[in-house]
Amino acid sequence: MSVAEFFDNEATFLVSVAAGRKHRLALTAEGEVYAWGYGDSGQLGAGTGVRSLALPLKVAALERRKRAVKQIACGAFHNAAVDEDGDLFTWGRNFEGQCCHKTSSTLGVQLTPKYVKLPLRARVLKVACGMDFTVCIAQARGKGGAEEEQDEGELLSISIFCKGMRSVSVTLNMHPLNSLSLNLSFPVSSIFPTGGALYSWGGGLAGQLGIGTTAKFRCSPQPVKVAESESFIDIACGWAHSLALTSKGKLWTWGLNNFGQLGTGDTKTR
């Protein structure tokens, strides 16, 4: 049986997929997450004893929360998922801190999804994963908890540099609220038009965390240092570089640039 036949037999409608180096995730319309492939770093989310899956298996730890998952992302050997409350969960390889857990279940590996606590009780609007790092857009929650509607006056503000130098801004010729999905998932600009602040963690040797240093790794959320008071609506990560789109239609890029992937007209890493 193929993966396509499996989902056909389950009568499951998929709304999103994500690919790691040797594993895959799929998100259903009901907010369930399935994983398959090679999982020696716990990226299948099935706990101990499961190293590979030829067919999709539902990630039980997420299902038990009774909250629909709205977004998934894969790094090379780790994953992230955001549920309907804006809570973020990560699992898989954590040697470089990409899962944002200071302690992990087994030798730097998080075998099942675990909640990531962000500053100021922030809820996550979108998450993206690179090879060994993670970046998310987040807004402060209202005082009433996860179910309360977001007050635009509570947006987090940030002020940034990148790798000790200025970040690079590329202006797009588009209306700020036009949908632009850099990683082909869903257009968050239409769902969260007010945007939010950026946080990153994990490996940072190429400056891909955008925290003003080429840190080997960071195991806790770090405010990304971009221009003053920018509000972000979309993010994407490459192998070791990051991109973020603001509500004003500006695209910021930082990290590894050996092949010109930052779009700055040169090959200088920032």
Those residues with Cβ within 8 angstroms of residue 201's Cβ, 6 or more apart along the chain or in another chain: 97, 98, 100, 133, 134, 209, 218, 219, 220, 221, 222
Residues 141 and 262 in one domain: yes
- Number of structural domains found in the chain: 2
Mean pLDDT of 190-198: 58
* Banded pLDDT at 168 (limits 50, 70, 90): very low
User: Does the residue 123 lie in any domain?
Assistant: no
Residues 138 and 270 in one domain: yes
Which tens digits make up the pLDDT trace of 1-57?
898 888 888 888 999 999 999 999 999 999 999 999 999 899 999 987 788 899 999
What is the mean predicted confidence (pLDDT) over 155-170? Answer: 30
The whole-model pTM stands at 0.76
Q: Is 230 helix (H, G, I), strand (E, B) or coil?
A: coil
pLDDT at 155 over 70: no
Burial of residue 6 (CB within 10 Å: 0-12, 13-18, 19+) is middle
Mean pLDDT computed over every residue of the chain:
77
Please count the helices (runs of H) and the strands (runs of E) in the chain. Answer: 3, 16
How does residue 120 score in pLDDT terms, banded at 50, 70 and 90? confident
- The domain in which residue 209 lies consists of 130-145+154-270
The residue type found at 109 is V
Amino acid at 175: H
> Over the range 140-173, which residues count as b (16 or more CB within 10 Å of their CB) and which as e?
bbeeeeeeeebeeeebbebebbbbeeebbeeeee
- 167 with 111, same domain: the answer is no
Condensed to tens digits (0 to 9), the pLDDT of residues 228-268 reads 577 888 999 989 899 999 888 888 888 899 989 888 888 98
162 shares its domain with 236: yes
- Average pLDDT over every residue of 202-225: 82
Residue for token pair 């200025």: 166
- Is the per-residue pLDDT at 182 higher than 90? no
Q: Is residue 122 part of a domain?
A: no
